């Protein structure tokens, strides 16, 4: 008798979250509107930088190898600013995860934001949870095709707007928009829009939670970022268990529980927020506050049951909190059965004891002790130190810059009069919006002379907002010490004639062996 091996991956079961209202749902709406507003509007913000420079506030200018962000301009040799921002983003993610769990995933992750937007469209066209489930199970019909077609059409428009907004960050937005409409834009622009349209349509419309579970590495990394003191969405099982429907003498039982000192205080707030055994079944059995209505499961975009404990799939969006609070309001019980809480705030009980038997003098840690812990303080200090260093580096960076590269083939040339000549390629960077004259000179190098290829004298005209490579010759007469030594230190100086700003570059002069 042979047994067939189970499949490596189970087929996806579609999830149809129910609509819910509450504080966290409103917060998610506000963050969704704010983040999408930034994404779609930013490329259209104008910023006057003067002549010869782009007027777009935020622009990744790949053609000229520049990054413009309002008044800040980052050049290729200043990539350490971008690296610093990426490090700050990583540390910020570690900080928020260690303090509040996966709040980034639940509120601001692009996958979450666009999936939420797509689910809103789906709910608007097909109806709420029960209507969508019926439509999913129904056979193909004209009505089903019409609703699915309308939904996919709106999804496709959102996906195209997503890809279109992305390309506007890499070229002047009004000009590129006109070229796209006239079919005159570069093929790369159309290809980028097509790829981002397809991925947004697929990820936000059909894969949703699978992207978070199978494709995103953060659910695995978060295990190293959270600990029992991290505030995250959880279920107060000591208050909710045992589950069951019923509520005979509910008000009387709650009053007795609080009056007898059996309630466990939580965060110094409502005294009965952690009280258990406040309800009775019709048979007289003591019940917790959970009536097993599954409202928390119905609203979860990941399709999990938070009452089963911490799970990799949970993105801490807190919609289950809104759903549970609504149920608690209806049955006359205090909110907070599902709440942001820490695992180490569970009341200390021995096996077999209920929360009502716990020490009535026990108090959980205050909120600030969960947020301000050694780990989060370290992340905050490291994040702030990098930010301060980047700001300081931004304000002290020179207006002009130069790099010096000796020509290695040959290392030196012996002229007819016995003089030794070295050649150098110098890159002069003019970060101003107008052309500048740069004067080149040498440091304390006795007896050597400087000559510029293509120029009479030592002044070079550099175009605005550009880098110019200049071939420079340094000549040491036969009697000069630098001509007789194998190597001598050499320093080039460049001075902006109009502003007096200076920069230097160090290299060596090669003499006779």
pLDDT higher than 80, residue 413: yes
* Cβ neighbour number for residue 224 with a 10 Å cutoff: 10
The two most distant CA atoms of the chain are separated, in Å, by: 116
- Tell me the per-residue pLDDT of 253-292, one tens digit each, with 9 for 90 and over: 444 444 444 433 332 233 445 555 456 666 667 778 888 8
Strand 459-462 vs strand 449-452: parallel, antiparallel, or unpaired? unpaired
- Tell me the per-residue pLDDT of 383-398, one tens digit each, with 9 for 90 and over: 999 999 999 988 888 7
Can you give the pLDDT at residue 326?
Answer: 93
DSSP string, 130-148: HHHHHHHHSPP-HHHHHHH
Between 114-128, 168-182, 328-342, the lowest mean confidence (pLDDT) is in 328-342
CA distances in angstroms from 335 to 208, 268, 326, 328, listed in the order given: 30, 14, 8, 6
Q: Which residues make Cβ contacts (< 8 Å) with residue 462, sequence separation at least 6?
A: 428, 429, 430, 435, 436, 437, 438, 468
Cβ proximity of 471 and 424 under 8 Å: yes
Comparison of pLDDT for 108 and 63, the residue scoring more: 108
pLDDT averaged over every residue in the chain: 84
Mean pLDDT of 161-183: 92
- Tell me the per-residue pLDDT of 126-160, one tens digit each, with 9 for 90 and over: 999 999 999 999 999 999 999 999 999 999 999 99
d(CA 333, CA 278): 9
Can you give the pLDDT at residue 8?
Answer: 67
Tell me the pLDDT band of 196, cut-offs 50, 70 and 90: very high
CA distances in angstroms from 125 to 120, 128, 130, 510, listed in the order given: 9, 9, 13, 77
Between 1-15, 21-35, 128-142, 189-203, the lowest mean confidence (pLDDT) is in 1-15
Q: Exposed, middle or buried, 46 (CB in 10 Å: 0-12/13-18/19+)?
A: exposed
Comparison of pLDDT for 406 and 243, the residue scoring more: 406
User: Could you give the 3-state DSSP secondary structure of residue 74?
Assistant: strand
Can you give the pLDDT at residue 274?
Answer: 54
Can you give the pLDDT at residue 270?
Answer: 39
Comparison of pLDDT for 272 and 89, the residue scoring more: 89
Strand 466-476 vs strand 400-406: parallel, antiparallel, or unpaired? unpaired
Percent helix, strand and coil across the chain, each to the nearest 5:
45, 20, 40
Cα atoms found within 13 Å of the Cα of residue 488, Cβ hemisphere only: 27
Q: Which residues make Cβ contacts (< 8 Å) with residue 326, sequence separation at least 6?
A: 20, 21, 22, 295
d(CA 333, CA 317): 23
Q: Which of 283-292, 302-311, 435-444 has the highest mean pLDDT?
A: 302-311
Cβ proximity of 494 and 402 under 8 Å: yes
pLDDT higher than 90, residue 199: yes
Strand 338-341 vs strand 58-61: parallel, antiparallel, or unpaired? unpaired
Comparison of pLDDT for 169 and 356, the residue scoring more: 169
Share of the chain above pLDDT 90, in %: 41
Three state DSSP letters for 220-283: HHHHHHCCCCCCEEEECHHHHCCCCCCCCCHHHHHHHHHHCCCCCCCCCCCCCCCCCCCEECCC
pLDDT higher than 80, residue 503: yes
d(CA 407, CA 352): 82
Mean pLDDT of 484-491: 86
CA distances in angstroms from 128 to 32, 131, 198, 300, listed in the order given: 20, 6, 26, 14
- Tell me the per-residue pLDDT of 447-470, one tens digit each, with 9 for 90 and over: 788 889 888 888 888 888 788 899
Tell me the pLDDT band of 478, cut-offs 50, 70 and 90: confident
DSSP H or E run through 173: helix 173-181
Tell me the pLDDT band of 497, cut-offs 50, 70 and 90: confident
Mean pLDDT of 339-361: 64
Can you give the pLDDT at residue 346?
Answer: 73
pLDDT higher than 80, residue 305: yes
Residues in the chain: 513
Question: Smallest Cα–Cα separation from 492: which of 427, 410, 408?
Answer: 427
Q: For residue 309, is it left (φ>0), alpha (ψ between -120 and 50) or beta?
A: left
Q: What is the DSSP letter of 4?
A: P
pLDDT higher than 50, residue 251: no
Can you give the pLDDT at residue 122?
Answer: 95
d(CA 200, CA 110): 10
pLDDT higher than 70, residue 163: yes
d(CA 178, CA 445): 57
Can you give the pLDDT at residue 456?
Answer: 83
> What backbone phi and psi angles, to 5 degrees, belong to 70?
55, -115
Q: Which residues make Cβ contacts (< 8 Å) with residue 461, sequence separation at least 6?
A: 435, 436, 437, 438
Token pair 């000179």 is found at 441
Can you give the pLDDT at residue 264?
Answer: 36
Burial 287-319 (b: 16+ CB within 10 A, else e): bbbbbeeebbbbbbbbebebbeebeeebbbbbb
What's the token pair of residue 87?
Answer: 């490090």
Can you give the pLDDT at residue 447?
Answer: 78
């Amino acid at each position: 008798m042979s047994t067939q091996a189970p499949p490596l991956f189970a087929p996806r079961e579609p999830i149809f979250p129910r609509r819910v209202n509450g504080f966290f749902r409103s917060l998610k709406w506000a963050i969704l509107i704010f983040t999408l507003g930034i994404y779609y509007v930013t490329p259209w913000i104008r910023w006057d930088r003067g002549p010869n420079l782009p007027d777009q506030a935020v622009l990744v200018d790949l053609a000229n190898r520049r990054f413009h962000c309002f008044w800040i301009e980052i050049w290729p040799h200043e990539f350490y600013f971008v690296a610093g921002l990426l490090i700050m983003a990583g540390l910020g993610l570690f900080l928020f995860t260690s303090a509040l769990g996966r709040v980034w995933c639940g509120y601001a992750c692009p996958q979450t934001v666009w999936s939420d937007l797509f689910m809103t469209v789906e709910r608007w066209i097909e109806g709420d949870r029960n209507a969508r489930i019926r439509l999913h199970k129904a056979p193909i019909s004209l009505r089903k095709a019409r609703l699915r077609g309308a939904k996919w059409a709106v999804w496709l428009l959102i996906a195209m707007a997503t890809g279109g907004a992305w390309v506007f960050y890499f070229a002047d937005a009004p000009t590129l928009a006109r070229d796209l409409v006239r079919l005159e834009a570069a093929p790369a622009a159309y290809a980028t829009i097509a790829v981002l349209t397809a991925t947004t349509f697929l990820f936000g419309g059909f894969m949703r939670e699978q992207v978070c579970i199978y494709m995103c590495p953060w659910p695995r990394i978060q295990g190293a970022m959270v600990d029992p003191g991290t505030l995250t969405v959880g279920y107060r099982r000591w208050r909710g268990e045992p589950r069951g429907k019923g509520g005979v003498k509910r008000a009387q039982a709650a009053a007795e529980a609080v009056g007898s000192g059996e309630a466990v205080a939580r965060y110094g707030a409502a005294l009965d927020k952690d009280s258990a055994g406040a309800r009775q079944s019709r048979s007289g059995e003591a019940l917790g506050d959970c009536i097993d209505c599954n409202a928390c499961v119905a609203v979860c975009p990941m399709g999990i049951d938070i009452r089963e404990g911490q799970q990799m799939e949970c993105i801490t969006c807190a919609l289950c909190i809104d759903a549970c609070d609504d149920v608690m309001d209806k049955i006359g019980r205090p909110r907070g059965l599902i709440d942001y809480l820490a695992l180490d705030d569970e009341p200390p009980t021995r096996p077999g004891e209920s929360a009502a038997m716990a020490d009535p003098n026990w108090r959980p840690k205050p909120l600030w002790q969960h947020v301000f812990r050694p780990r989060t303080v370290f992340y905050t200090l490291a994040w702030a130190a990098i930010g301060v260093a980047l700001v300081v580096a931004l304000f002290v960076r020179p207006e002009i810059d130069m790099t010096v590269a000796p020509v290695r083939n040959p290392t030196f040339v012996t002229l007819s009069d016995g003089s030794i000549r070295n050649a150098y390629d110098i890159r002069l960077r003019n970060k101003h919006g107008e052309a500048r004259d740069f004067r080149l000179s040498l440091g304390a190098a006795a007896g050597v002379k400087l000559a510029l290829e293509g120029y009479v004298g030592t002044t070079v005209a550099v175009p605005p907002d550009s880098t110019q490579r200049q071939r420079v010759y340094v000549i040491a007469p036969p009697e000069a010490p630098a001509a007789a030594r194998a190597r001598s230190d050499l320093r080039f100086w460049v001075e902006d004639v109009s502003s007096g700003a200076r920069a230097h570059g160090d290299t060596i002069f090669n003499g006779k062996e």
